[in-house]
């Protein structure tokens, strides 16, 4: 059973406004939200309605125009917090094309100033956990889309983060691969007890979450209440190796 | 090490661009090395000429322009079909056919009182001041009454050397190959050091004798000298030279006189001040520094020096600027293409400094590769210069060869006063890559890399991660 009583994120009156010349584009408006430790929150919504902006605010990649975002009472934009606590998975994988799968995963550990042998051990484990141990030396271009996203997930999880922020992680994948990746994310969430915040426009993906929020014109509406702790999960966890 | 792995992979991925940047820097650096090599070669050539003329370690030389003869003054020799006349200050004496005239005179420089040497030596910031006599021995045999051709005088350049300070003046540049050099005890002896080529041409060996001003000198040493600057043929002790030589303008002895003072300064920065001080001691003298002397050298050597120092320098600077600009633009363009990559790294927690370091590392590595290639280009450039460059000619002021016979009609005459002469000598172009040039090349290459990388790195560092991640790479 997950501990769901601790608040990981607290968003108070958060707005994010972009300005392009004379145009003002409100991406997120007046958002108040608490996200609990170990929760899986899925945010659904149409393109351009502020999903990715919300994720970037949560990941400390951007700062709100108004209001505040805190993670454990700290600013999530602080580099130390971002380096240790957050793992990112992007729609377009964002792997560094010149580095092998192993080196891409290793890149996430560089800011943690870990000794090389420990880095190697953790990278190998992370790649094994996503079933890519035999693809460690391959460049991203030599991997399928699903494999690339699994490398990106390994990169996100290798530092043992407290939060996994996934932005349309299945957006560039076919249906079979999509299910495979969602199953993998769910398994990792269950195994590691991490907070999973997933943004997607795909209902099939979103409905697997504990709590669903819908972004529309920058406003978030929680559609599905927080489920009872006894809620059962049906996905296959065999793909996840022991961490 | 992750830094190096990432750097290597990135450079390999952008191989063509990296090679292009490195090549640009290599051309710029290579040109700098070549120009520096050529300049060093020209400087060496100038140095050889000047050292031969005035000696190693001399910072300033003091000379006096020769005074023109007044009225019928000076030494004058008339050669007639029935003999000749030797006139000194208007008083002429007949010289019979077959007689030998042998005069040791200073034609190019006027005399300076030897006391001035001591006074200059006492000046503040002067390390040493040594006097010397630059002379020419002219020897002619008066023809008989039935002679059909006029005789040519033979001239020998002679340097009166202060034997107590033989390390100054032209003798300092000479290398003894046989016999011995002057010692303190030679001051009043008729000993001579003879140039090796002159010795061969005149059949002189150790202990043979040479006649100067009707006085026999014993050859005590044979010298090898750089012929580039027409060094003296014979060196004799200063005191003996002063005793035998005459001032052609007055016919007076040069006893207690010198024609050149070689001055060594305590430091280069003192030279301008010392120049002024000497001018105060000897107001009418010409005080020349090494820079002044170098400016007196004309001919293709001077042209080459001007070419290397002016055109070569500016060309190298322009090419370097172009190479730096090209490297900066290409690196900046590469950063633009990698915006999303850097955004991802920032999302992973990489600091701006680490990303800048990565970009700088890549560009500095490219710069160093370019620098090494540039050094190679520099060596090649210098080798080409050596292979194709003709020997440089240097026209330098030298002591006059003295009187010459006139060829028109009977009643020929020659004057012992001649206008200052110039000798054109051939100097080999010895361009070489110096350690300084190599160090500068490496520094320039690193600077080029840093400059290019810092612009790109600065752009990468100031990217907001959210903005960077929105860019489609």
Q: Which residue has the tokens 């392009």?
A: A20
CA B427 from centre of chain: 10
Record: contact B465-A79, CB cut-off 8 A: no
Q: Is A70 a member of any domain?
A: no
Give CA–CA dist B254/B287, Å, rounded.
21
Question: What pLDDT digit, counting tens, does each position of B36-52 carry?
Answer: 888 777 777 776 666 65
The Cα–Cα gap between A28 and A174 comes to 30
- What CATH number corresponds to the domain at position A80? 3.40.50.300
DSSP type of residue B64? B
Query: How many structural domains comprise chain B?
Result: 2
The DSSP 8-state label assigned to residue B311 in this structure reads I
Residues B234 and B164 in one domain: yes
Contact: B349, A79; criterion CB under 8 Å = yes
Only one residue has tokens 């972004």, namely A215
Confidence of residue A228 (pLDDT cuts 50, 70, 90): very low
The gap between the terminal CA atoms of chain A, to the nearest Å, is 18
* pLDDT (tens digit per residue) in A115-157: 999 999 999 999 998 889 899 999 999 999 889 999 999 999 8
CA separation for the pair B280, B277 (Å, rounded):
5
Contact list, B347 vs chain A (CB under 8 Å): 59, 61, 82, 86, 88, 94
How large is the ipTM? 0.85
Which of the residues A17, A79, A110, A163 would you substitute to probe the B interface, choosing the one with the greatest number of B C-beta atoms within 10 Å?
A110
**Residue B306: domain span:** 2-45+302-391+429-470
**What residues of chain B lie within 8 A of the CB of A97, using their CB?**
13, 341
CA distance B470 to B443: 38
- Which of A25, A94, A115 to mutate to test binding with chain B, by most B CBs within 10 Å of its CB? A94
Buried b (16+ CB within 10 A) or exposed e, B346-356: bbbbbbbeebb
Residue in B closest to A108 by C-alpha? B348
C-alpha angle A161-A189-A162 in degrees, rounded to nearest 5: 20
Q: Do B76 and B207 fall within a single domain? A: yes
Interface test with B, best of A96, A118, A162, A163 (most B CBs within 10 A): A96
Q: Give the C-alpha separation, B11 to B415, whole Å.
A: 78
Residue B294 in any domain: the answer is no
Verify that B145 and B102 share a domain, yes or no: yes
* Judgement on whether residues B310 and B454 belong to the same structural domain of the protein: yes
Verify that B90 and B220 share a domain, yes or no. yes
Same domain, B378 and B412: no
pLDDT at B422: 58
Q: Which residues of A touch B361 (CB under 8 A)?
A: none
Q: What is the pLDDT of residue B443?
A: 86
Let me know whether B15 and B78 are in one domain.
Answer: no
Q: Do B346 and A61 touch (CB under 8 A)?
A: yes
Min Cα distance A36 → chain B (Å) is: 22
CB contact under 8 A, A98 and B351: no
In a domain, A117, yes or no: yes
Q: Answer whether residue A160 is part of any domain.
A: yes
C-beta neighbour count of B276 within 10 angstroms: 9
A83 to chain B, closest Cα gap in Å: 4
Are the Cβ atoms of B10 and A98 closer than 8 angstroms?
yes
How does DSSP classify residue B307? I
In this structure, are strands B83-88 and B91-95 parallel, antiparallel, or unpaired?
antiparallel
Domain span holding position A136? 37-56+75-224
Query: Does the pLDDT of residue A93 top 80, yes or no?
Result: yes
Same domain assignment for residues B167 and B272 = yes
CA dihedral B346, B349, B352, B356 (to 10 degrees): -80
Q: What is the mean pLDDT of chain A?
A: 85
Contact B2 A103 (CB under 8 A): yes
pLDDT single digits (tens) A153-182: 999 989 889 999 999 888 878 888 888 888
22-81 in chain A: CB under 8 A from chain B: 53, 56, 59, 61-62, 79-80
Whether B368 maps to a domain, the answer reads yes
- As a whole number of angstroms, the distance between CA B130 and CA B118 comes to 8
- The DSSP string of A195-223 is EEEEEES-HHHHTTSSEEEEEETTEEEEE
Rounded to the nearest angstrom, the minimum Cα separation between B452 and chain A is 21
Instruction: Provide the β-strand partners of residue B287.
Output: B62
Cβ pair B58, B263 in contact under 8 A: yes
Quote the tokens at residue A122: 């953790």
The beta-carbon neighbor of A110 closest among B2, B10, B469 is: B2
Q: 3-state class of B288 per DSSP?
A: strand
Q: Is residue A220 part of a domain?
A: yes
Cβ-based contacts of A56 with chain B (< 8 Å): 465-466, 469
Cβ-defined contact of A107 to B346 (cutoff 8 Å)? no
The answer to whether residue A4 scores a pLDDT higher than 50 is no
> With contact defined as beta carbons under 8 Å apart, do B169 and B54 qualify?
yes
Residue of A nearest to B463 (CA): A61
Whether residues B39 and B101 fall in one domain: no
State how far the Cα of A137 lies from the Cα of A117, in Å rounded to an integer.
Answer: 17
Collect all residues of chain B within an 8 Å Cβ-Cβ radius of residue A110. 2, 348, 350, 354
B31 closest CA partner among B385, B393, B471 = B385
- What part of A 112-171 touches B (C-beta under 8 Å)? 112, 116, 155
Residues of A with CB below 8 A from B346's CB? 61
Q: Do A103 and B6 touch (CB under 8 A)?
A: yes
Nearest to B340 among A56, A94, A99 (CB): A94
- Find, among B121, B73, B78, the residue nearest to B282 by Cα: B121
Beta carbons of A110 and B10 less than 8 Å apart: no
| Cβ burial, residue A118 (10 Å; 0-12/13-18/19+) | exposed
Task: Report residues of chain B scoring pLDDT below 70.
Answer: 47-57, 69-76, 79-83, 89, 145-148, 150, 228-229, 291-312, 392, 394-429, 470-473
Show the tokens assigned to B28: 């710029």
Residue A113: closest CA among chain B residues belongs to which residue?
Answer: B350
Q: Does residue A107 sit at the B interface (CB-CB below 8 Å)?
A: yes
Residue entry with tokens 């560094």: A96
Q: How large is the average pLDDT for residues A187-211?
A: 89
> Are B140 and B235 in a shared domain?
yes
Cross-chain CB nearest to B348 (options A97, A111, A116): A111
Whether residue A48 is contained in a domain is answered as: yes
Number of domains in chain A: 1
Put simply, the answer to whether B348 touches A107 (Cβ < 8 Å) is yes
Answer yes or no: do B194 and B139 share one domain.
yes
In a domain, A5, yes or no: no
DSSP alpha helix (H) spans, chain A: 51-58, 79-85, 101-107, 116-129, 145-157, 175-192, 203-206
Q: Residue B14, Cβ neighbours under 10 Å: how many?
A: 20
Q: How far apart are CA B190 and CA B236, in angstroms?
A: 7
Evaluated on CA atoms B160, B166, B170, B176, the torsion sign reads positive
Is A82 in contact with B345 (Cβ distance < 8 A)?
no
A99 touches chain B (CB under 8 A): yes
Q: Are B164 and B249 in contact (CB under 8 A)?
A: no
pLDDT for res A229: 43
Q: What angle (nearest 5°) sits at the alpha carbon of residue A72, between those of residues A69 and A74?
A: 55
Cβ of A98 and B464 within 8 Å?
no
Tell me which chain A residues have a C-beta less than 8 angstroms from the C-beta of B11.
none
> Which chain B residues have a beta carbon less than 8 Å from that of A78?
none
If you average pLDDT over residues A105-113, what whole number do you get? 92
Alpha helix positions (H), B245-351: 271-281, 290-296, 300-306, 313-337, 339-347
**For residue B349, which residues of chain A lie inside 8 Å, CB to CB?**
79-80, 82-84, 108, 111-112
Rounded to whole angstroms, the Cα distance separating B414 from B153 reads 10
Q: Judging by beta carbons within 10 Å of its beta carbon (0-12, 13-18, 19+), is residue B329 exposed, middle or buried?
A: middle
Report the alpha-carbon distance of residue B404 to residue B415 in Å, rounded.
Answer: 8
- Angle A26-A30-A31 from CA coordinates, rounded to 5°: 110
pTM of the model: 0.62
**Is there a single domain that holds both residue B81 and residue B187?**
yes
- Residue A41 domain-assigned (yes or no): yes
Closest residue, chain B, to A156 (C-alpha) = B348
Chain A residue with CA closest to B15: the answer is: A98
Residues, chain A: 243
Query: What angle is formed at CA B187 by the lines to CA B181 and CA B192, rounded to 5 degrees?
Result: 45
Query: Is residue A79 included in any domain, yes or no?
Result: yes
């Amino acid at each position: 059973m997950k501990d769901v009583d601790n608040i990981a994120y607290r968003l108070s009156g958060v707005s994010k406004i972009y300005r392009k010349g004379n145009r003002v584009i409100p991406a997120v408006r007046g958002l108040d939200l608490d996200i609990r430790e170990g929760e899986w929150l899925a945010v659904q919504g149409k393109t351009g309605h502020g999903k990715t902006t919300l994720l970037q605010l949560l990941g400390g990649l951007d700062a709100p125009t108004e209001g505040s975002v805190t993670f454990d009472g700290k600013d999530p934009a602080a580099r130390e917090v971002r380096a240790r606590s957050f793992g990112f998975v992007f729609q377009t994988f964002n792997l560094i094309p010149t580095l092998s799968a192993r080196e891409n995963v290793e890149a996430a550990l560089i800011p943690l100033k870990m000794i090389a042998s420990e880095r190697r051990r953790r990278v190998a484990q992370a790649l094994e956990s996503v079933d890519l141990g035999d693809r460690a030396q391959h460049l991203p271009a030599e991997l399928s889309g699903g494999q690339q996203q699994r490398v990106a997930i390994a990169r996100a999880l290798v530092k043992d983060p407290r939060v996994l922020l996934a932005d349309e992680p299945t957006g560039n994948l076919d249906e079979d691969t999509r299910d495979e990746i969602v199953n993998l994310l769910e398994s990792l969430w269950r195994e590691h007890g991490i907070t999973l915040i997933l943004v997607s426009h795909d209902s099939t993906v979103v409905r697997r979450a504990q709590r669903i929020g819908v972004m529309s014109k920058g406003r978030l509406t929680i559609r599905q209440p927080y489920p009872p702790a006894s809620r059962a999960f049906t996905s296959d966890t065999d793909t996840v190796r022991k961490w | 090490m992750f830094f190096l792995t990432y750097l290597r992979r990135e450079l390999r991925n952008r191989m063509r661009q990296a090679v292009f940047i490195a090549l640009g820097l290599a051309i710029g650096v290579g040109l700098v090395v070549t120009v520096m090599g050529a300049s060093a070669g020209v400087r060496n050539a100038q140095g050889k000429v000047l050292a031969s003329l005035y000696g190693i370690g001399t910072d300033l030389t003091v000379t006096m322009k020769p005074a023109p003869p007044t009225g019928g003054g000076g030494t004058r020799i008339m050669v007639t079909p029935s003999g000749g006349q030797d006139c000194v200050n208007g008083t002429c004496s007949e010289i019979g056919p077959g007689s030998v005239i042998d005069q040791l005179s200073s034609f190019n420089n006027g005399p300076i009182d030897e006391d001035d040497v001591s006074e200059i030596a006492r000046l503040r910031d002067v390390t040493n001041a040594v006097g010397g006599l630059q002379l020419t021995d002219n020897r002619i045999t008066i023809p008989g009454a039935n002679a059909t051709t006029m005789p040519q005088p033979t001239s020998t350049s002679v340097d009166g050397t202060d034997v107590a300070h033989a390390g100054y003046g032209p003798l300092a540049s000479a290398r003894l190959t046989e016999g011995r050099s002057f010692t303190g005890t030679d001051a009043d002896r008729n000993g001579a050091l003879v140039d090796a080529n002159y010795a061969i041409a005149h059949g002189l060996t150790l202990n043979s004798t040479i006649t100067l001003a009707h006085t026999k000198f014993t050859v005590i040493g044979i010298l090898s000298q750089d012929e580039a600057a027409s060094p003296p043929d014979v060196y004799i002790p200063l005191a003996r030279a002063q005793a035998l030589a005459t001032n052609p303008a007055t016919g007076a002895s040069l006893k207690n006189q010198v024609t050149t003072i070689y001055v060594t300064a305590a430091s280069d920065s003192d030279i301008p001040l010392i120049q002024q001080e000497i001018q105060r001691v000897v107001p009418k003298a010409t005080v020349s520094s090494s820079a002044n002397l170098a400016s007196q050298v004309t001919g293709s050597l001077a042209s080459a020096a001007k070419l290397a120092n002016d055109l070569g320098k500016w060309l190298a600077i322009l090419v370097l600027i172009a190479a730096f600009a090209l490297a900066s633009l290409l690196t900046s363009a590469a950063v633009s293409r990698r915006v999303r990559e850097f955004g991802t790294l920032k999302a992973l927690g990489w600091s701006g400094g680490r990303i800048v370091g990565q970009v700088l590392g890549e560009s500095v590595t490219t710069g160093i590769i370019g620098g090494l290639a540039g050094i190679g280009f520099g060596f090649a450039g210098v080798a080409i210069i050596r292979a194709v460059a003709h020997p440089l000619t240097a026209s330098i002021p030298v002591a006059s060869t003295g009187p010459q016979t006139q060829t028109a009609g009977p009643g020929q005459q020659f004057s012992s006063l001649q206008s200052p002469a110039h000798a054109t000598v051939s100097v080999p172009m010895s361009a070489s890559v110096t350690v300084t040039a190599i160090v500068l090349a490496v520094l320039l290459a690193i600077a080029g890399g840093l400059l290019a990388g810092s612009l790109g790195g600065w752009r990468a560092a100031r990217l907001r991660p959210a903005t960077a991640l929105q860019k489609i790479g």
